[in-house]
Amino acid sequence: MSENLIKKIKVKKVKICVIGLGYVGFPLLKLCQDKGFSAIGLDVDQKAVDNAVKEGVSATLDAEYALTDSDCIFICVPTPIEKNNRPNLQYVEDAAKTIAKFLKKDSLIVLESTVAPGTTEEILVPFLKGSGLKDEEFYVAHCPERIDPGNKKWTVKNLPRVVGGINKKSTKIAVELYKKIIDAEIQELSSVKAAESVKIVENTFRDVNIAFFNEIAKSFDKFGIDISEVIKGAMTKPFGFLAHYPGCGVGGHCIAVDPYYLINKAEESGFNHQFLKLAREINNSMPEYTVGKVKKAMDKANKTINGSNIAILGLAYKPDVSDMRESPAFPIIEELEKWGAKLTIYDPYILEKSSVDSLEKALENKDCIVIVTAHKEFLKITPEKLRKHKIKVVVDGRNILDRTEIQKSGIIYEGIGR
Ligand code: SAJ
C-alpha cells in the first residue's frame, strides 16, 4: 500500500495537514500550498489560524475538518523544557491523540519538532496506535526542523534536511514527500533515532562552542586580552577552526533548550553528559557575569549601580528579531534592579516592552548603557554619539562596539572578554 501513497505523492495528489502554525509550521504549510499540494493548517490558537488565513493559506481550529482524509501530516508543535529543564512533550502528545482520532490507513505522519532520540517511537507511535490501525497501516518518520528565525538566505524552501523513519517504508515515503516540497538535499538516514539525534547534535555542538568562547572570555578578562582580536586572528587559519562568540548569554528556544533533551535522555540510560551540563552552566552564568562587568565599570567611574540610570539595549535573544524567549536580557534586568538601578529598556523590535521608542531617548541622561542584543541599530553607537549624550560607561554584552575608539574618548568600556 505504501506504493499507492508514493504514487500519489509523486503527482501531488496527497492531502497535507500541518499541525502547529508557528515559525516552523506556517512556512512549511505555505510552501506545500505554493508547491501545488492540497494543504491545510491546524492550530489550537485562533490568532495563528487567522494569521495563516490572512496570508492566503487555509487553516482551521477544527481538527476533524483538517485531518479527515489527510494523507500526510506534519507535526510542528513546540517542545519546550520545564523549569527543571525536563522536556515538555505535552504538545506532541496532544497532537498525536488528535491525529489518532482521524487517522486513515496508508497515511504518513512526520514529526518535525525537536525531540530527544527515541521520542518518536516511544511517545508518538504508541499514541498513533490509538487509532486502531495496525503497525503496517500507517507510516511515521522524523525530519528535524531547521528554521533559523530571521534568516533570509536559508529558509524552509532551500534548507537541506535529514529524514529517518520507524521502518524502511516510512523513510522512503517521507523522503519522496520532502523531495517534492523542498529544493535541497534530502538525506535518508537509517533510523528515526538517527534523525532525532542529528538536530540535537547540531544545536548542542553550537551550545558547547559558545560555552568554550564564554569561558575563554572570562579568562582573557583576567589577562586583559581582547578576545575579539584573538578570534579574528584564529579565523585566518583556513581550516580546523570555527568561530563562535562570547556574549551576555545564550537565549532562544533552540540552543538554550535542545541540549537538555540529550542530557535528560542519556540520564535515563545511565549516562551523565558532564561536558554538556558544564557548557549549559557556563552559558547560563553569562548574564550574571555581565552584571559583574557593569559593577566593575561603574566602580572605575566611581559610580554605584544603586540609584544609577542604566539603559538596557535589547530584549530579543538574537539580533534583528523580536523573539524574547530565554533571552539573557531578563536575568540581567532582574539583577540590576536588585542592585537598585533605574532601568530604561529599548529594543527597536519590541517597542511594546520598551520604556522609550528610540535609541536617542534611551541614551539620554544615562550613567551607563548595557548592550544585550546585537541589533544592527546599535552598531551606530559611535564614540561621537556617546560623547553627545555624555555617556561615561559602556558595557558591551555582544562585543559589537569599537572598544579602542571608545576608550580613546575617555569612556569606560567593558566587553565580554575584552
Ligand atoms: N550566541 C552566542 N554566541 C554565538 C552564537 C550565538 O552567544 O557565537 C547566542 C545568541 O546571541 C543567542 C543564542 O546564542 O542568544 C542562540 O543564537 P543562534 O544564532 O544559535 O540562534 P537560534 O537559537 O535561532 O539558533 C538557530 C538554530 N536553528 C535551528 O535550531 C533550526 C541553530 O541550529 C542555528 O545554528 C542558528 O539558528 C543559526 O545558525 O543562526
Q: Which grid coordinates are listed for 323?
A: 523573539
For residue 201, tell me if it sits in a domain: no
Q: Among this protein's residues, is 72 annotated catalytic?
A: no
For residue 202, tell me if it sits in a domain: no
* Angle of the 2-10 helix axis to the 168-181 helix axis, nearest 10: 10
* Cβ 244 under 6 angstroms from ligand 1: yes
15: domain range?
2-190
173 and 217 both lie in a single domain: no
Identify the domain boundary among 129, 161, 190: 190
Number of H helices, E strands in the chain: 17, 13
Instruction: Sort strands 38-42 and 15-19 into parallel, antiparallel or unpaired.
Output: parallel
Separation of alpha carbons 228 and 317, rounded Å: 20
For residue 26, tell me if it sits in a domain: yes
Q: Which of 23, 24, 147, 148 to mutate to test the pocket of ligand 1 (most atoms within 8 A of CB)?
A: 148
How many domains is the chain built from? 2
112 and 238 both lie in a single domain: no
* Cβ 247 under 6 angstroms from ligand 1: yes
Residues of the chain with pLDDT under 70: 1
**What are 334-380's pLDDT values in tens digits?**
999 999 999 999 999 999 999 999 999 999 999 999 999 999 999 99
**CB of 298 closer than 8 Å to CB of 334:** no
Ligand 1, residue 286: give the atom nearest the CA: 7
Separation of alpha carbons 168 and 188, rounded Å: 10
257 and 169 both lie in a single domain: no
Measured in angstroms, how far is the CA atom of residue 323 from the centroid of ligand 1? Answer: 12
**In this structure, what DSSP letter does residue 210 have?**
H
Q: Which of 209, 231, 254, 332 to mutate to test the pocket of ligand 1 (most atoms within 8 A of CB)?
A: 254
Q: Mean pLDDT of all residues in the chain?
A: 97
Q: Which grid coordinates are listed for 318?
A: 538574537
* Cβ 287 under 6 angstroms from ligand 1: no
Using only C-alpha atoms, the chain has a radius of gyration, in whole angstroms, of 24
Model-level pTM? 0.94
* Cβ 161 under 6 angstroms from ligand 1: no
* Cβ 325 under 6 angstroms from ligand 1: no
For residue 198, tell me if it sits in a domain: no
Measured in angstroms, how far is the CA atom of residue 255 from the centroid of ligand 1? Answer: 6
250 and 167 both lie in a single domain: no
**CB of 333 closer than 8 Å to CB of 275:** no
135 and 281 both lie in a single domain: no
Measured in angstroms, how far is the CA atom of residue 301 from the centroid of ligand 1? Answer: 34
Q: What pLDDT does 394 receive?
A: 98
Ligand 1, residue 255: give the atom nearest the CA: 23
User: Going edge to edge, which strands form the sheet with 107-111?
Assistant: 59-60, 38-42, 15-19, 72-75, 107-111, 138-142, 161-165, 186-188
Q: What pLDDT does 89 receive?
A: 97
Q: What pLDDT does 1 receive?
A: 66
149 and 261 both lie in a single domain: no
For residue 200, tell me if it sits in a domain: no
* Cβ 210 under 6 angstroms from ligand 1: yes
155 and 304 both lie in a single domain: no
**CB of 257 closer than 8 Å to CB of 328:** no
> How far is Cα of residue 311 from the mean position of the Cα atoms in its chain?
26
167 and 246 both lie in a single domain: no
107 and 220 both lie in a single domain: no
Measured in angstroms, how far is the CA atom of residue 336 from the centroid of ligand 1? Answer: 25
108 and 178 both lie in a single domain: yes
Q: Which of 76, 146, 196, 206 to mutate to test the pocket of ligand 1 (most atoms within 8 A of CB)?
A: 206
268 and 182 both lie in a single domain: no
Measured in angstroms, how far is the CA atom of residue 105 from the centroid of ligand 1? Answer: 40
Strand partners, 73: 17, 109
For residue 268, tell me if it sits in a domain: yes
Closest to 89 (Cα-Cα) out of 279, 257, 283: 257
265: domain CATH number is 3.40.50.720
Single-letter code of the amino acid located at 23: Y
123 and 213 both lie in a single domain: no
* Cβ 251 under 6 angstroms from ligand 1: yes
For residue 197, tell me if it sits in a domain: no
* Cβ 202 under 6 angstroms from ligand 1: yes
Question: What residues have CB less than 8 Å from 130, skipping those under 6 apart?
Answer: 96, 97, 100
Phi, psi of 287 (to 5 degrees): -60, -45
For residue 101, tell me if it sits in a domain: yes
